[in-house]
Amino acid sequence: MWEFYERSNTSMKKFLSLTLIMCMVFGFLAGCASSDSGGSSELFVGVLFDSLQVEGRTRQRDELERYAAELGIRLVFQDGGLSEKTQIDQAENLITQGVDAIILLAHNPEAMGPMVEACAANDVVLLVTDRIVPDYDFEYFVGWDNHFIGYEQAMYALTRVPKGNYVLIVGAPTDPNALEWEAIWLDVLGPGIASGDINIVLHDRCEDWDPTIAANHTENALTIANDDVQVVMAMADILATGVVQVLEQRKLAGQVLVTGLDGEATAYQRIAEGSQAMTLQLADEEMARLMLDLLVAHFAGEDVSGMLTGTTNNGRYDIPTISVGLLLADASNLMDLIKAGLVDYDTTFTNVPEADRPPKP
- Of 175, 180, 125, the C-alpha closest to 291 is 125
Residues 294 and 142: beta-carbon distance below 8 Å: yes
Cα 237 vs. chain centroid, distance in angstroms? 10
pLDDT at 325: 85
pLDDT score at 42: 78
Q: What is the pLDDT of residue 31?
A: 39
**pLDDT score, position 21:** 39
Neighbours of 270 (CB within 10 A): 26
Q: How long, in residues, is the chain?
A: 361
Q: Which CATH superfamily is domain 4-23+30-144+283-325 in?
A: Response regulator (3.40.50.2300)
DSSP state of 34: P
Residue 326's beta-bridge partner residues?
5, 282
Same fold, 4-23+30-144+283-325 and 147-281+329-356: yes
Residues 220 and 136: their CA atoms lie apart, in Å, by 39
Show me where the domains of the chain are located: 4-23+30-144+283-325, 147-281+329-356
Q: Where would I find the H helices in the chain?
A: 18-25, 55-71, 84-97, 113-121, 146-160, 176-195, 211-224, 237-249, 265-273, 284-299, 334-339, 345-348
**Could you tell me the pTM of the whole model?**
0.82
CB-based contact 232:256 (threshold 8 Å): yes
First to last CA, the chain: 16
Residue 288 to residue 101: CA distance in whole angstroms = 14
Q: Tell me the C-alpha to C-alpha distance, in Å, between residue 182 and each of 83, 137, 147.
A: 23, 26, 10
Is 18 exposed, middle or buried (CB count within 10 Å of its CB: 0-12, 13-18, 19+)? middle
pLDDT reported for residue 245? 98
pLDDT of residue 53: 84
pLDDT in tens, the chain (361 residues): 233 333 333 333 333 333 333 344 444 333 343 334 344 457 999 999 999 988 889 999 999 999 999 999 999 999 999 999 999 999 999 999 999 999 999 999 999 999 999 999 999 999 999 999 999 999 999 999 989 999 999 999 999 999 999 999 999 999 999 999 999 999 999 999 999 999 999 999 999 999 999 999 999 999 999 999 999 999 999 999 999 999 999 999 999 999 999 999 999 999 999 999 999 998 999 999 999 999 999 999 999 999 999 999 999 999 999 999 899 999 999 999 999 998 999 999 999 999 999 999 9
Give the Cα-Cα-Cα angle 70, 299, 38 (nearest 5 degrees): 50
Quote the pLDDT of residue 265.
95
d(CA 288, CA 293): 9
**DSSP-derived 3-state class of residue 221:** helix
Q: What SS3 class is residue 256?
A: coil
Q: Are 309 and 9 in contact (CB under 8 A)?
A: yes
CATH topology of domain 147-281+329-356: Rossmann fold (3.40.50)
Q: For position 95, what pLDDT does the model report? A: 97
